[in-house]
Amino acid sequence: MASTIGEPGKGSKSTQSGQSGAKKLKKTKEGTSVEDKNETKDDEGSITDDIRNADFYHGLIPKTDAEALLKKEGDFVLRKTEHNSGVIVLCISVRTEADKVKHFVINTDASKSYFIDAAHKETSVSNLINFYKSTKTPLSVASNAKLKKAIERPPWGINHDAIFIIKKLGQGAFGEVYLAEYVSEKGREKVAVKTMKGEASRDARNKFLKEARMMRKYDHKNVVKILGVAVHEHPLMIVMECCEGGAMCSYLKKNGKTMPMKEKNRFVAEAAEGLAYLEKQQCIHRDIAARNCLLSGKNNIVKISDFGMSDDKAILHDDTLEKVPVKWLAPETLQDRIYSLKSDVWAFGVLVWEIYSNGAEPYPGLTRLQTRAKIVLTDYRMKMPDDTPGDMAKIALQCWDKVPDKRPAISAILPDLKKLADK
Ligand SMILES: Nc1ncnc2c1ncn2[C@@H]1O[C@H](COP(=O)(O)OP(=O)(O)OP(=O)(O)O)[C@@H](O)[C@H]1O
């Protein structure tokens, strides 16, 4: 019987490619820069070069991404997925005539034969796919899933060997962020590469790649652009435009005292422009802060980054409140764990405060717990730094209205912020 994901074939071994081990990046002439090759060796058992280089092999792309690529009945991709905890297997995802996507594990036996249904075995994965495609045999009787058209990797699917790591830029939640060179048909360009540690769980991997999925939707000069993801090998990578100026909060800490007021006003206006765009796309960012605004180019253009927590639901109820940036959270988030476009507006107010206080930590002298208590219980609001332009201070206070609906939309305050920046 064919086994779909979640119901492994009994008495057979799936095409395991081994659990990801932690790997160190190193610079190589060939590009991908992974020191520990063990896992790739494991991969080679089942993923031979004909598969690795096949256009329809998508590596570890998440189910959601695979499903979005399969538009018509018979469209299929070959990908890797975590079958049972810690075991990476090869699987075929295919859209069925019932307009559902089914995922079939490719199994292997002691004699290195590959099969979906033990009734038909082949000596390689590519032969197995060719068999199902050419004979139009259903992958399982129940689903009647047939392989018709292999769907190629999308343009955002990047090969590891097109990435040349140069140096570490920072530390992300899942792994390091590097400056790298990305070689494509367009030539060579400097990029930032967010990596994910090899030993991460399926959950963490999905979270990591969700950030890429969110970023793919956006195209704006004040939002960090994604170029693609590399998911064929470990470490998984998100490849994005590089903002050489680094995080705004570090810049403010270093240069804030000597920065012209005009530049601070511009930082506010540019961050607002990026955020107004996200607001229009119904994207709740959930982590607006100076540390997540990056600076790009010789003019230090502000770009909103870090979509690790973002979502495109109108209102989000997140029960976990795990590792949350308390000092940037609105009262309704602190109390009821509700996130909305209006909780981003609150965080934008805190960002404005950070800009005029030269990157200081909000609510100086208060712990996270004290901050939470003061906001929720006493309606406490920070005082804006003394030299904040009056109109700017007024706008920040509007962003901190207790009632989310009374906070302005970013698009509504943007014209005034731009005027202030142009003065
Ligand atoms: N596109 C980029 N260009 C230049 N530097 C970057 C870029 N993206 C990230 N960095 C650097 O890497 C650091 C970590 O990135 P980021 O904050 O996005 O990671 P993260 O996984 O979301 O971490 P956390 O959730 O803890 O903030 C940033 O502070 C910045 O210094």
The pLDDT, as a whole number, for residue 32 is 40
Strand order across the 75-82 sheet: 101-105, 88-95, 75-82, 149-150
Ligand 1 close to Cβ of residue 325 (< 6 A): no
Domain boundary among 239, 264, 289: 239
| Of 35-49, 170-184, 215-229, 262-276, the least confident | 35-49
Ligand 1 close to Cβ of residue 272 (< 6 A): no
Ligand 1 close to Cβ of residue 304 (< 6 A): no
- 110 and 126 share one domain: yes
The pLDDT, as a whole number, for residue 42 is 41
Could you say which DSSP state residue 192 is in? E
With 80 as the cut, is the pLDDT of residue 238 above it?
yes
We report the CATH number of the domain holding residue 191 as 3.30.200.20
Query: pLDDT tens, 270-319?
Result: 999 999 999 999 999 999 999 999 999 999 999 999 998 888 776 777 66
Domain boundary among 146, 178, 204: 146
| Residue with CA at minimum distance from ligand 1 atom 14 | 172
Domain boundary among 215, 239, 263: 239
Domain assignment present for 120? yes
State the closest ligand 1 atom to the C-alpha of 244, by its place in the atom list counted from 1: 4
Mean pLDDT over each residue of the chain, to the nearest integer: 86
- 159 and 301 share one domain: no
With 60 as the cut, is the pLDDT of residue 213 above it?
yes
With 80 as the cut, is the pLDDT of residue 104 above it?
yes
| Residue with CA at minimum distance from ligand 1 atom 31 | 170
**Structural domain boundaries, residue 283:** 244-420
| The model's pTM | 0.81
Domain assignment present for 11? no
Question: Across residues 196-217, what is the average pLDDT?
Answer: 85
CA of 291 from ligand 1 middle (Å) equals 8
The pLDDT, as a whole number, for residue 23 is 36
* Candidate ranges 25-34, 89-98, 194-203, 345-354; pick with highest mean pLDDT: 345-354
Respond yes or no: is residue 117 known to be catalytic.
no
The ipTM value here is 0.94
Range 107-112, long-range pairs (CB < 8 A, 24+ positions):
107/3, 107/9, 107/12, 107/13, 107/14, 107/15, 108/12, 108/13, 108/14, 108/15, 108/46, 109/12, 109/13, 110/13
Query: pLDDT tens, 334-361?
Result: 999 999 999 999 999 999 999 999 999 9
Ligand 1 close to Cβ of residue 200 (< 6 A): no
- 140 and 164 share one domain: no
The pLDDT, as a whole number, for residue 320 is 63
We report the CATH number of the domain holding residue 89 as 3.30.505.10
Question: Across residues 162-187, what is the average pLDDT?
Answer: 92
Task: Please tell me which residue in 43, 75, 117, 287 is annotated as part of the active site.
Answer: 287
